[in-house]
Chains A and B, each alone.
Chain A
């Protein structure tokens, strides 16, 4: 019997999952597709040779749109828009892989310049994402009952600091979401949209609590930090992509650097 096809409870009925095997296969397919594209590219027509052609620009736009899907996943799961958020997770992986292929096709047409940083971020995103799913989960499973800290000698100063923090959180929460209980509360997308300043204040307090409890130090770094790194890379990539779009659309002259402006753009500053 294959262990990975069986599951205990209701989750298996409603919660689809992307197995490690499938994820690996999808990543291998992506790599193979990119390699294949690079190999056959010299034999393709001129529209495939430059990143700004109508064809390649369209491909890039398609890739960029697909790469925005992960942000939908992020919004969907934080905004309460999905009964089974893992469906969005799978969508985010599939869209990312397809988007990455398209962006890679666009990028290999001219493999230099600042956009390479975006490409690097994209590669790192995929590496951290795959690592988190395939390897960090082992760290999570192996961490069970491996944190004896609460049974060790207690630090009274930490307790006192935590007490103050909790009081501060309660005070902020009264204004941020009076009906909420600090014990189980965390800032949601709705809070961020409605009360960003208070949300930020509360998030900072929560972060300070986490630092005091040393939560991330309680796991091997690979397990504790893959996700913050993945999120950071995602934001960096998003920022880079926006900058890239603005530059080629509004600062086409700067992007061309004295060369031909052959792509669709609005202004050629």
Chain B
């Protein structure tokens, strides 16, 4: 049974099917078809596989005797005996559902048999097991029909030709309201493919041709018996924040399968396609396997293989030279989440402390620093205290998403939320300039003007406070400065009417939403990069958190302000006596500050960079990033694959990841530490990043701190990384005692209970005095305090969020700029380390504003960026052939009306140009867009295999940043689109 209400189009079922059956490119047993109307917003996802018909047309069409396709007399499963198939294709022609696959390499039909091998072992079919949304369920047809009736639902009639399809499709349940595109509700329950189109950019058969040949790596297209594991190891996926518990299936020290951990009571085997693509990552023949030294010009991509000893010796010598000439601070290290938490917070941290550079940067300033700073300022911790459990986030009556496309960024967590929504009849509202997959599941989509969520938050708060809808008891007892904020809102007249003119949402709708948030018995406000990646990200996060707080939705189950990832205190520290304390402050808290230091020695020279991410894709203003990196004396790139950054490096070092090295997964959304054992060797001569830092450290005499024994990450974890009281109980022993292989912190000791929800009434924050419910100095949520106000005023802001927007807008809005009046630099607050920053000022709209100027130059469209569909994740999935098969091309989503004006057809290549650069992408005409806005996803780069495209960060500006957090605006620019 397939429930269209629960399907989120993530294609995890496709990944599971190919892994289960060893299918290669263009071979399918199932597929999720994306469908959209040309002229009205919305997406639906039709999961197609064999219908196991009562009258299977494929069986009747098979000319072979005895037939190659048969219907099992007891189970009714339609199966193929590939040995009998001659590959004539008649069954493919005959099946009106298009559910017969074909192996174009070996010339025979292939099809779904509902995973007969798994069923024989008492398991569910692979697709049903992994489905993040729980959209696919497997069982007796009669029991499904009964369940359907009990839920009061009716099946879609898809028996157009009296074939008696056995699969049951349940139509959509939600009728959503779109306040921009149409006044009326749209009925989604009459599901039909009539008048719906598939976007040209998904599942493009022409683009799949490039994947044939050498793309398919072990163990795909291998015999089933060659893919059977000799051991199964519990662990976690280390790609995204969902941190899904998985099982690694290993045969002869090679990974043969990644499945969800069905022993986990919360996940029950659900995983997204990315986890499954780890199989393609670990087995890819394209992995870097030996150190490389540049022999051509920077950017040219010419290298020669060298030994590790040579690489380390030469790097050490060059580093020493740079240090001698420019000082220890002239080395910067950029390591993002690919590198692993243990490496970043452990090995690299120790190296920097020993070496004496403050210039360590990670991707926080591009992802979540605005959130972290805001949480830190208000809550005293870097994130929410809630958990993805039925009793906590699952018990909300209302879910409101602000710029968070959770369905595509954390599909499994969204699947949980969506199921709880349906079970509890909760409401979901999504505020986003485009109708994301998340929005398609919501009751209401509000197509906000990009980057104006702060105005909406202020308008919501105004209405709540003006009408005494706030939780006065909570406000009085647990919020410091809420009255000051209320007075500020009233003084500024941040009413819904004021907000409506800015955000493009009707004032009545804002009022209604405010009332719903205030009166819901548990409301979860989700936010994410759509809020963080703006130059007002810090204050927007704070304002949204304030809305949650005044309605009593912080410190309760089923109520939260939730912005993904919750940093936990994992940090290794060298003994003070061994530390070399930097003589200079950090160049900046955002690593793009380094560009000035490289190019202009401002504030001091930066001459060497070691990076283990892909800044040539991820940093804003790629033209400038390239120009700057060419000027370095030394650049070392540590990664799994060659990517755009490798081409600019002097040395490219092959890295290991996940089960090749042993680590924890990324910072989970809800305080879970998921341990991954080292279980297989890295490919070739690749080494864990940890090994590199220890070996490099030896060349400088650091091996008394960066010990050789720490090459075992489990030893390093217990000895160095859980010294904080918050972490002390999260030992290797305890992690390995649980079959799910994760623990939720804080854990004061090995016997401590895991805490589902932090900051509940009657509790004290971990490590804080009794009565301090929240981990701030006051023990309360801090909206406004004299100290906070002094800190933010120093930056040119105020503790009470005042509205401003990004610099480039189609309407006149206030924006921020650095003060040019010679005011002295101040120390940036809320960061680890010391960085100086020039104060900002909010500039009120004026006729010569940047937005007006750009419009005069023809930049007449708002560009927004964001995550691509679920199978993609930055550089991680560039070499995952199946991700490239599903979504090959970078695209630009635009409203069909906008496309018609420009005479652009779906799938056509178009140019997108901002004042900062230009890229090309394929057009995706989608009515779920604001007419004045286009969307281009992140993630592609020009060096990736199969389908390279220039990164969207050629369009962004490194100088537009949030004053509060130094977070880059990666989201919102004016652009023009041309054929």
B70 at the A interface (CB under 8 A): yes
A78 at the B interface (CB under 8 A): yes
The residues of A that contact B161 with a CB separation of less than 8 Å are: 150, 158-159, 162, 212-213
Closest Cβ of chain A to B429, distance in Å, is 29
Mark interface residues in A188-207 (1 if CB within 8 Å of B CB, else 0). 11100000000000000010
| Known A-B contacts A1-B218, A9-B22, A80-B66; A227 and B88 likewise in contact (beta carbons under 8 Å) | yes
Q: Return the chain A residue nearest B203 by Cβ.
A: A145
The residues of A that contact B63 with a CB separation of less than 8 Å are: 77-78, 186
Tell me which of B93, B208, B221 contacts A216 (CB under 8 A).
B93
Is B192 within 8 A of A152, CB to CB?
yes
A105 at the B interface (CB under 8 A): no
Restricting to B553-573, which residues have a CB under 8 Å from any CB of A?
none
**For the complex, what is the distance from the CA of A11 to the CA of B21, rounded to whole Å?**
12
Tell me which of A17, A150, A219 contacts B159 (CB under 8 A).
A150
Q: Return the chain B residue nearest A147 by Cβ.
A: B98
| Known A-B contacts A1-B214, A213-B161; A12 and B54 likewise in contact (beta carbons under 8 Å) | no
Is B22 within 8 A of A152, CB to CB?
no
| Known A-B contacts A11-B83, A85-B86; A215 and B96 likewise in contact (beta carbons under 8 Å) | yes
A36 at the B interface (CB under 8 A): no
Q: A39-47, A109-117, A118-126, A135-143: which one contacts chain B? A: A135-143
Mark interface residues in A17-49 (1 if CB within 8 Å of B CB, else 0). 111000000000000000000000000000000
**For the complex, what is the distance from the CA of A12 to the CA of B224, rounded to whole Å?**
11
**For the complex, what is the distance from the CA of A86 to the CA of B86, rounded to whole Å?**
5
Interface residue total, chain B, C-beta cutoff 8 A: 88
**For the complex, what is the distance from the CA of A133 to the CA of B102, rounded to whole Å?**
12
Is A6 within 8 A of B31, CB to CB?
no
A8 at the B interface (CB under 8 A): yes
21 A-B interface contacts by CB (under 8 A): A8-B21, A8-B221, A10-B224, A12-B223, A77-B63, A86-B107, A138-B104, A140-B89, A140-B109, A142-B208, A144-B98, A145-B99, A150-B97, A150-B158, A152-B193, A186-B62, A186-B67, A218-B93, A218-B98, A223-B92, A223-B93
Restricting to B57-116, which residues have a CB under 8 Å from any CB of A?
57, 59-67, 70-71, 82-90, 92-109
Closest Cβ of chain A to B76, distance in Å, is 11
B217 at the A interface (CB under 8 A): yes
Closest Cβ of chain B to A230, distance in Å, is 10
The residues of A that contact B162 with a CB separation of less than 8 Å are: 159, 162-163, 166
The residues of A that contact B97 with a CB separation of less than 8 Å are: 147, 150
A224 at the B interface (CB under 8 A): yes
**For the complex, what is the distance from the CA of A216 to the CA of B71, rounded to whole Å?**
23
Mark interface residues in A212-254 (1 if CB within 8 Å of B CB, else 0). 1101101100011001000000000000000000000000000
The 4 closest A-B pairs by CB, nearest first: A11-B82, A147-B98, A142-B205, A6-B221
**For the complex, what is the distance from the CA of A159 to the CA of B159, rounded to whole Å?**
9
Restricting to B609-665, which residues have a CB under 8 Å from any CB of A?
none
**For the complex, what is the distance from the CA of A189 to the CA of B27, rounded to whole Å?**
31
A3 at the B interface (CB under 8 A): yes
B776 at the A interface (CB under 8 A): no
Taking A9-B22, A88-B86, A138-B209 as given, write out 15 further A-B residue pairs in contact, using a Cβ cutoff of 8 Å, ordered by the A residue number.
A1-B216, A1-B217, A8-B223, A11-B85, A86-B86, A137-B89, A140-B100, A144-B28, A147-B95, A152-B160, A158-B160, A183-B60, A189-B65, A190-B65, A218-B93
Closest Cβ of chain A to B93, distance in Å, is 5
The residues of A that contact B158 with a CB separation of less than 8 Å are: 150-151
How many contacts between A and B, using CB within 8 angstroms? Answer: 237
**For the complex, what is the distance from the CA of A190 to the CA of B566, rounded to whole Å?**
71
Is B192 within 8 A of A153, CB to CB?
yes
What DSSP secondary structure best describes chain B's contact surface? loop
Q: A residues engaging B (CB < 8 A)?
A: 1-4, 6-15, 17-19, 77-80, 83-86, 88-89, 132-133, 136-138, 140-155, 158-159, 162-163, 166, 182-186, 188-190, 206, 210, 212-213, 215-216, 218-219, 223-224, 227
Tell me which of B60, B64, B104, B285 contacts A140 (CB under 8 A).
B104
The residues of A that contact B391 with a CB separation of less than 8 Å are: none
**For the complex, what is the distance from the CA of A137 to the CA of B57, rounded to whole Å?**
19
Is B85 within 8 A of A184, CB to CB?
no
**For the complex, what is the distance from the CA of A134 to the CA of B214, rounded to whole Å?**
18
Q: B residues engaging A (CB < 8 A)?
A: 21-28, 30-31, 33, 35, 46, 48, 54-57, 59-67, 70-71, 82-90, 92-109, 156-162, 164-165, 169, 191-194, 196, 203, 205, 208-209, 212-218, 220-224, 285
**For the complex, what is the distance from the CA of A77 to the CA of B64, rounded to whole Å?**
5
Is A141 within 8 A of B101, CB to CB?
yes
Is A148 within 8 A of B82, CB to CB?
no
Q: Return the chain A residue nearest B108 by Cβ.
A: A11
**For the complex, what is the distance from the CA of A84 to the CA of B108, rounded to whole Å?**
12
What DSSP secondary structure best describes chain A's contact surface? helix
**For the complex, what is the distance from the CA of A181 to the CA of B33, rounded to whole Å?**
33
The residues of B that contact A215 with a CB separation of less than 8 Å are: 57, 61, 93-94, 96
| Known A-B contacts A78-B65, A146-B98; A184 and B71 likewise in contact (beta carbons under 8 Å) | yes
**For the complex, what is the distance from the CA of A80 to the CA of B82, rounded to whole Å?**
15
The residues of B that contact A78 with a CB separation of less than 8 Å are: 63-65
Is B216 within 8 A of A85, CB to CB?
no
Is A213 within 8 A of B105, CB to CB?
no
Is B214 within 8 A of A145, CB to CB?
no
Closest Cβ of chain B to A262, distance in Å, is 43
**For the complex, what is the distance from the CA of A44 to the CA of B103, rounded to whole Å?**
46
- Of B83, B109, B209, chain A has the most CB atoms within 10 Å of the CB of B83
**For the complex, what is the distance from the CA of A269 to the CA of B159, rounded to whole Å?**
62
**For the complex, what is the distance from the CA of A136 to the CA of B194, rounded to whole Å?**
27
Is B98 within 8 A of A145, CB to CB?
yes
Tell me which of B56, B84, B85, B102 contacts A183 (CB under 8 A).
B56
Closest Cβ of chain B to A190, distance in Å, is 8
The residues of A that contact B61 with a CB separation of less than 8 Å are: 186, 215
Is A224 within 8 A of B93, CB to CB?
yes
**For the complex, what is the distance from the CA of A144 to the CA of B47, rounded to whole Å?**
12
| Known A-B contacts A9-B22, A215-B93; A3 and B285 likewise in contact (beta carbons under 8 Å) | no
**For the complex, what is the distance from the CA of A77 to the CA of B70, rounded to whole Å?**
16
**For the complex, what is the distance from the CA of A137 to the CA of B63, rounded to whole Å?**
17
Closest Cβ of chain B to A101, distance in Å, is 24
**For the complex, what is the distance from the CA of A212 to the CA of B163, rounded to whole Å?**
13
Is B214 within 8 A of A210, CB to CB?
no
Tell me which of B46, B66, B67, B89 contacts A151 (CB under 8 A).
B46
Closest Cβ of chain B to A25, distance in Å, is 16
Closest Cβ of chain B to A2, distance in Å, is 7
The residues of B that contact A86 with a CB separation of less than 8 Å are: 83, 85-87, 107-108
Closest Cβ of chain A to B518, distance in Å, is 42
| Known A-B contacts A144-B99, A148-B46, A186-B61; A9 and B223 likewise in contact (beta carbons under 8 Å) | yes
**For the complex, what is the distance from the CA of A3 to the CA of B217, rounded to whole Å?**
8
Tell me which of B82, B102, B107 contacts A9 (CB under 8 A).
B82
Q: Return the chain B residue nearest A92 by Cβ.
A: B86
The residues of A that contact B94 with a CB separation of less than 8 Å are: 210, 215
Q: Return the chain A residue nearest B26 by Cβ.
A: A141
**For the complex, what is the distance from the CA of A265 to the CA of B680, rounded to whole Å?**
76
Is A183 within 8 A of B221, CB to CB?
no
Closest Cβ of chain B to A74, distance in Å, is 9
Q: Return the chain A residue nearest B881 by Cβ.
A: A3
Is A150 within 8 A of B65, CB to CB?
no
**For the complex, what is the distance from the CA of A223 to the CA of B22, rounded to whole Å?**
25
The residues of A that contact B103 with a CB separation of less than 8 Å are: 7, 141
**For the complex, what is the distance from the CA of A145 to the CA of B103, rounded to whole Å?**
15
Is A148 within 8 A of B102, CB to CB?
no
Tell me which of A6, A138, A149, A186 contacts B60 (CB under 8 A).
A186
Q: Return the chain B residue nearest A137 by Cβ.
A: B104
Closest Cβ of chain A to B684, distance in Å, is 15
**For the complex, what is the distance from the CA of A8 to the CA of B64, rounded to whole Å?**
22
Is A188 within 8 A of B65, CB to CB?
yes
**For the complex, what is the distance from the CA of A85 to the CA of B23, rounded to whole Å?**
23
Is B223 within 8 A of A7, CB to CB?
yes
**For the complex, what is the distance from the CA of A155 to the CA of B96, rounded to whole Å?**
14
Q: Return the chain A residue nearest B44 by Cβ.
A: A151
Q: Return the chain A residue nearest B84 by Cβ.
A: A85
